[in-house]
Amino acid sequence: MRRASPLASPFLSRALLPIREGGVGTTVTAQHRLLQAALYGSNTTSSSSKSRWFLPAFDFPGRSSRVVVGVAGALFSMAAASIVQDVYAKEPPSPELLPKDVILYQYEACPFCNKVKAFLDYYEIPYKVVEVNPISKKEIKWSEYKKVPILMVDGEQLVDSSDIIDKLGQKILPDRTVDSMTEDVDEEIKWRRWVDNHLVHVLSPNIYRNTSEALESFDYITSNGNFGFTERITVKYAGAAAMYFVSKNLKKKYNITDERAALYEAAETWVNALNGRDYLGGSKPNLADLAVFGVLRPIRYLRSGKDMVEHTGIGEWYTRMENAVGESSRIKA
């Protein structure tokens, strides 16, 4: 650890500055920008096996039995497939409501950016991605807003992940504003705020809780981020060392004594909120489901995310969300 301290010192001197979504203003140093980027930077039963379960109900002699049973099995398989499609059916907006040109300026590992992407993917809104270099931020020099995510929608700039989703939702989901949905919307708003005010603050102390997990996290960050070769090497090791120490300060700031226990508690809090439902939205995801899924997606296959799924009941919901959100609607360059 003592060898890592000199690398970390430039970062640590700035680590206690107020942290806001996705980044900081233009007056901070490149090291602090890097820290901000890093910080926020059930097997289903097959239709064939269901068909075999269905077969004993038919008891016809001879060749006709094979025909009838075969038809019955085929019909059951088709019905089962239809049910699965209904469960995981997306809800793309009417084509006339879809924006024509959507560009997301992001950090790949940023939970707030991933929250926006979960919304775009679920509603099948095609979008382009510009990966922002967290040190130079040259990709967003044109904007007065120096944080990510930034979403350009038909030439209009939208900022702040929750505001982006609210404003874009008003454009493509006009039916959500009806009075009959007031109670459901209140619950949704409550849990979306919980994501922004609590869940995201539990993540960093977990993914940087020791040196090996910090290196694992920065390997993901540098592999998916917009870095030059030299930057990638420097950022991976210096950043991992710095964030290991910063995570200790974050634990104090947010009164976290045991980072894994806090992560598990947050996961179980969400599972309890579901109250037996497939999603908080009931039979289909709502904006709170998408928010939780989005911020957890960058850590899901890191050590912390694997531990979370292994030690809590969130795994089944997460798998349902993966199926519901489906393939990315990102437009490949």
Does residue 113 have an active-site annotation? yes
Catalytic pick among 11, 76, 105, 110: 110
The residue assigned the tokens 């996705």 is: 22
d(CA 243, CA 272): 31
Does residue 244 have an active-site annotation? no
Burial zone of 157 (CB within 10 Å; 0-12 exposed, 13-18 middle, 19+ buried): middle
If you write DSSP's letter for every residue of 4-71 in order, what string do you get?
Answer: THHHHHHHHTTTTSPP-TT---TTS-HHHHHHHHHHT---PPPHHHHHHHHGGG----HHHHHHHHHH
Catalytic pick among 40, 105, 107, 208: 107
The residue assigned the tokens 């090291």 is: 31
**Pair 235, 37: CB distance under 8 Å:** no
Catalytic pick among 40, 76, 105, 113: 113
Does residue 107 have an active-site annotation? yes
Does residue 227 have an active-site annotation? no
Catalytic pick among 40, 76, 105, 112: 112
d(CA 124, CA 98): 9
**Annotated active-site positions, please?**
107, 110, 112-113
